[in-house]
Amino acid sequence: MQPSKKLSDFHKCFILESLEKWDDLDVDSKMFYLQAITYRILRSEQRGSSFRTLIGDLGLYPEAMMISELMTIHNSLSDTYTRDKQAKLVALPDNQGTTQLAISEGTAE
């Protein structure tokens, strides 16, 4: 069996097992997990975090590197927040600094 086929089979089994474990949870547990995960993902993405930083924020680095669906979510949110930041750019007069300076000052937390 080819290594890529083994990895693909492992990934499919991991997804099925994850879904079974999710189904075993009660509604309260599902709500708490979902709230925590979405909050952490959005907070991390709003700061412009990399995928590695995101899974670190979730407390799952490096184990979560294999979750391709999380990478898909990261890429989508990253694109959204990047477009939002670009839409807020304003050109400043030369005597007040550069657009890059306006970005860094506008995104400081």
pLDDT, tens only, 30-51: 999 999 999 999 999 889 889 9
Q: Is 106's pLDDT higher than 70?
A: no
Among the residues of the chain, which ranges form H helices? 3-24, 27-46, 51-57, 68-87, 99-106
Total domains, the chain: 1
Q: Which of 24-28, 64-68, 83-87 has the highest mean pLDDT?
A: 24-28
Q: Which pLDDT does position 65 carry in this prediction?
A: 84
Distance CA(81)–CA(74), nearest Å, equals: 10
Say what the pTM is.
0.65
Domain of residue 65 covers 3-106
Q: Which pLDDT does position 21 carry in this prediction?
A: 95
